[in-house]
Amino acid sequence: MPKLPIIHATRDVTHGRFQVEQVDLEFSNGVRRTYERLKGGGLGAVIIVPMLDDDTVLLIREYGGGVGRYELGLPKGRLDQDETAEQGANRELKEEVGYGARKLKILHNLSLSPSYMTHMAHVVLAQDLYPERLPGDEPEPPEVVPWKMSELHTLLGRDDVTEGRSIAALYMAHEYLAGRFKRS
Amino acid sequence: MPKLPIIHATRDVTHGRFQVEQVDLEFSNGVRRTYERLKGGGLGAVIIVPMLDDDTVLLIREYGGGVGRYELGLPKGRLDQDETAEQGANRELKEEVGYGARKLKILHNLSLSPSYMTHMAHVVLAQDLYPERLPGDEPEPPEVVPWKMSELHTLLGRDDVTEGRSIAALYMAHEYLAGRFKRS
């Protein structure tokens, strides 16, 4: 497990990359409420399930600034201008995992918190991988950790595997690869 | 599917219930970065997997102010002062689903975004249910939708099932009930 970064300082800010929006709503029963939600900036995001072979997924271990520890999960990132979800997934894969993919398929979209965040991410299954690395903007290269899809349940009890979207995307890919996933 | 609420107005705000914190970090390789993260206010949260019987989970359909449509997922909520996770889960269950539980078990914790949110929620399996309703603060009573755990894969392709934490908690409960889940 990598050594935790040193925290030199923390400070509260009232601006930054998170934008808050108030929405005045009237429900169909006439009840009125004002909800607050976080607006996800940018062009959308991707979460990638990179399959090294039919039963091996490549996870990454990366420092999570939100939770203040290293987290094991799927590679992900935001889309750049003029990039499709598949192109963005392939770029992030090359930056974070050191592989490109010849086969990329969007399985579905995942929200973060449908109650109070607009944020959505495409789940992209990446197959037919080949080694290729692009320089990323990570402060340190993520550690790549192969895991057996047939052993997904052994991930669930770990204290460093907590991200709902990673777990959901892994089970989604597992059902898809088993022929049990169908878009409605 | 319920009729969508009317949106009377929206406005950007620079305050509200979301607090942003900047953190100055130095990684073990000497690289320095300033990260921004959202601080989850309050006392923590719960996401509940209510089992009506061994193969039937009770989902709710609720308007998601973040995504602007009705979402099908697990009941959840924030803990009140002086409440354990089990007590909070039972209260939310009574408010949102109209059942109490005689058996409550914390399976694990899920983060929202480990990269930039401090927020964590306990996943609570609720079993041995009995009808009991508490008044909640919802603008309209959520619709309760039973689903077969053996048919979880049929949820994944739906456009109104997108929350990573709900999907993760459902698969976690499924693995636990099948005897395949173990805390590390």
Report the C-alpha gap between B173 and A151 in whole angstroms: 16
Report the C-alpha gap between B104 and A78 in whole angstroms: 38
Q: What percent of chain B has pLDDT over 90?
A: 78
Report the C-alpha gap between B57 and B76 in whole angstroms: 14
Domain limits at A67? Answer: 45-177
Q: According to the model, what pLDDT value does residue B20 have?
A: 83
Q: Average pLDDT of A168-174?
A: 98
Which pLDDT tens digit goes with each residue over B6-56?
A: 888 887 776 667 788 889 999 999 999 999 888 877 789 999 999 999 999
Could you tell me if A175 lies within 8 Å of chain B, comparing CB atoms?
A: yes
Could you tell me if A104 lies within 8 Å of chain B, comparing CB atoms?
A: no
Kindly state whether residues B58 and B117 are assigned to the same domain: yes
Establish if A77 belongs to a structural domain.
Answer: yes
3-state DSSP: chain A helix, strand, coil percent, rounded to 5? 20, 45, 35
DSSP state, residue B166: H
Kindly state whether residues B34 and B49 are assigned to the same domain: no
Kindly state whether residues B125 and B156 are assigned to the same domain: yes
Could you tell me if B177 lies within 8 Å of chain A, comparing CB atoms?
A: no
Report the C-alpha gap between B120 and A67 in whole angstroms: 9
Establish if A133 belongs to a structural domain.
Answer: yes
Could you tell me if A10 lies within 8 Å of chain B, comparing CB atoms?
A: yes
Which pLDDT tens digit goes with each residue over A11-62?
A: 777 666 778 888 999 999 999 999 988 887 778 999 999 999 999 999 999 9
Kindly state whether residues B110 and B156 are assigned to the same domain: yes
Q: According to the model, what pLDDT value does residue A48 have?
A: 98
The alpha carbon of B183 is separated from its chain's Cα centroid by a whole number of angstroms, namely 20
Nearest CA in chain B to A77: B115
Q: Are B129 and B99 in contact (CB under 8 A)?
A: yes
Q: C-alpha distances in angstroms, A69 versus A161, B106, B115, B183?
A: 11, 22, 10, 18
Number of domains within chain A: 2
Establish if A127 belongs to a structural domain.
Answer: yes
3-state secondary structure of A165: helix
Question: Are residues A21 and B28, on separate chains, in Cβ contact within 8 Å?
Answer: no
Kindly state whether residues A60 and A132 are assigned to the same domain: yes
Could you tell me if B167 lies within 8 Å of chain A, comparing CB atoms?
A: yes
Q: Are B96 and B88 in contact (CB under 8 A)?
A: no
Nearest CA in chain B to A164: B165
Using alpha carbons only, what angle is made at residue B40 by residues A41 and B142, rounded to the nearest 5 degrees? Answer: 85
Question: What number of C-beta contacts closer than 8 Å exist between A and B?
Answer: 267
Establish if B1 belongs to a structural domain.
Answer: no
Residue linked to tokens 């636990």: B176
Kindly state whether residues B65 and B149 are assigned to the same domain: yes
Kindly state whether residues A50 and A29 are assigned to the same domain: no
Nearest CA in chain A to B159: A184
Kindly state whether residues A62 and A28 are assigned to the same domain: no
Kindly state whether residues A154 and A124 are assigned to the same domain: yes
Output the pTM of the full model. Answer: 0.95
> Per the structure block, which two tokens stand in for B95?
């408010």
Q: According to the model, what pLDDT value does residue B19 have?
A: 81
Establish if A1 belongs to a structural domain.
Answer: no
ipTM above 0.90, yes or no: yes
Kindly state whether residues A21 and A62 are assigned to the same domain: no
Q: According to the model, what pLDDT value does residue B16 have?
A: 64
Establish if B184 belongs to a structural domain.
Answer: no
CATH number where B170 lies: 3.90.79.10
Kindly state whether residues B26 and B104 are assigned to the same domain: no
Which pLDDT tens digit goes with each residue over B49-107?
A: 999 999 999 999 999 999 999 999 999 999 999 999 999 999 999 999 999 999 999 99
Q: Average pLDDT of A117-140?
A: 95
Kindly state whether residues B70 and B152 are assigned to the same domain: yes
Q: What percent of chain A has pLDDT over 70?
A: 97
Interface residue of B115, B119, B149 to substitute, partner A, most A CBs within 10 Å: B115
Establish if B88 belongs to a structural domain.
Answer: yes
Establish if B183 belongs to a structural domain.
Answer: no
